[in-house]
Structure 1
Amino acid sequence: MTRSFPEERDDPMRDFLVTAQGEAARIEIMVKTWGGDGLDAFLAELAEGFRGWIGTRTWRSLDGDLTLAAEHAGSYVRLTWGLHDRFPDDERHFEMTTIHAPGEDMRSLAIEMRTFLGSDPL
């Protein structure tokens, strides 16, 4: 976690590096957010919806370089994380899906994200 403008101590902009690695590729993208863009709150809402919801719930970072789509599939929640280039003419993107138990597993993820986003940036 770093400050977008380190000389401004009250600046709410936060940057953090997201790395996704598979057998054939490693992707790294610096994600820019405005105080986390509510990612922790989005995850907390998913945790509170442990009984389920219809359709897909989505979240995106300030510049759209990180996206998250959530679907409730009964006994689990499917989170599809997307990493996207910031340049509109460059259509490279990477997606990865993680599976989580509804309720407590999602609540733990939300708490971990809140802790991370609330940490003091460098």
Structure 2
Amino acid sequence: MFYAILAYHVEGVIQAMTPQEDAALMADLLRINTRLHEEGTLGPSARLGATADACTLRGPGDGTIIDGPFAETKEQLLGLYVVDCAKRDEAIAIARDLRRVNPTAVYEIRPIVLFKPGVPLAGK
């Protein structure tokens, strides 16, 4: 089963890091990524760009583009991991590993149901 591990953080905290602090954090996270890749567990992962560069599409018809994320939150979605785990507890363990190196982040673990046109949904 695939799980998304969504990484939330107060964006200002990340932006306030020195280049050295940011590089050290990313090196720690990369060690986890490398281990998960070697185990065959890691799917796509990404560090998202700044929310100031984001936009949201909402509304009927063609919709309206709104600058930035729409949600009013203190924490922003700053990255994500896709992991392939047999059980939810395995995905939670991975999120705990990520949190050990980035303790001020919040990680949401959510099952993913893959959608491919013409292919039945997994688990259905």
- Tell me the TM-score normalized by structure 1: 0.25
Q: In proportion to residue count, which structure has more strand?
A: 1
- Tell me the TM-score normalized by structure 2: 0.25
The higher relative CO (CA closer than 8 Å, separation ≥ 6) is in 2
Q: In proportion to residue count, which structure has more helix?
A: 2
